[in-house]
Structure 1
Amino acid sequence: MAMFNPAHPGEILKELVIDSLELTITDVAKHLDVSRKTLSKVLNTKGSITPVMAVRLELAFGKPSADHWLRLQNAHDLWQTRQEQQSLHVSPYNFQMA
């Protein structure tokens, strides 16, 4: 069953990890060895959690796993793309039997 509008993983990271642990974006960025701008883009849903970022998060926080972060990102991206699939201008093949 497909989810309806899955949350961007940056929102989840901000609310359930950074805010709940009362961390600052600057401190987390330093700890992850990324720029504050890079982390802010993810948290503000303007950037994606890449495989490298997912591993950084797993190393820093333990759980959830890198795989989980990537599944969240994939679910969000796929849902967004399906909302715009008509703009892809692709139709099914019509195979005719000879």
Structure 2
Amino acid sequence: MTRNPDRCPTHPGELLREDVLPATGKSKAEIARLLGVSRQHLYDLLAERKPVSPEVAVRIAKLFGTAPLFWIRMQGAYDAWHASRKVDVSAIPTLRNVPGASATA
């Protein structure tokens, strides 16, 4: 199944807020303590006001038994989707056949 390019990817905070944290039965304050981050930082992440940094991704991955790259890629997809709609690239040419460059966008 191909992803709809017009649909914004899910922010990792939404996944944590809607699915992961409720499944633990623990309070947000307890999760913040276990992660070693402030409650405010966790609340900002859950409200999608802050991104998941690589450092926080490592903490989340350890706590929930996942891979850090899962959280980093999820954040990257979210950030890239927004950037591609905000940044004007109309004046930048596309170079073809550059060795080492990926053919996928």
Q: TM-score range by the shorter chain?
A: 0.7 to 0.9
Counterpart Cα distance in 2 of 1:67 and 1:54: 8
Q: Does 1:69 align with 2:66?
A: no
TM-score where L is the length of structure 2: 0.78
Q: Which amino acid in structure 2 is aligned with residue 8 of structure 1?
A: H
Bigger drift between 73-82 and 12-21 goes to 12-21
Question: Structure 1: which 5+ residue stretches go unaligned?
Answer: none
Distance 1:94 1:74, change over 3 A: closer
State the Cα distance separating 1:83 from its structure 2 match.
1.4
Aligned-residue identity in percent: 29
Counterpart Cα distance in 1 of 2:43 and 2:94: 46
Q: Structure 1, residues 35-75: CA drift from partner, whole Å, max 9, x if none?
A: 00011111000001001100001111102x10000000000
TM-score where L is the length of structure 1: 0.83
1:91 is aligned to: 91
Cα RMSD of the aligned pairs, angstroms, is: 2.0
Question: Structure 2: which 5+ residue stretches go unaligned?
Answer: 96-105
Question: How many residues are matched?
Answer: 92
Secondary structure in 2 aligned to 1:6?
coil
Counterpart Cα distance in 2 of 1:76 and 1:28: 23
Q: Which amino acid in structure 1 is aligned with residue 34 of structure 2?
A: H
Higher relative contact order (CA 8 A, sep 6+): 1
Bigger drift between 17-26 and 68-77 goes to 17-26
State the Cα distance separating 1:82 from its structure 2 match.
1.1
Higher helix share: 1
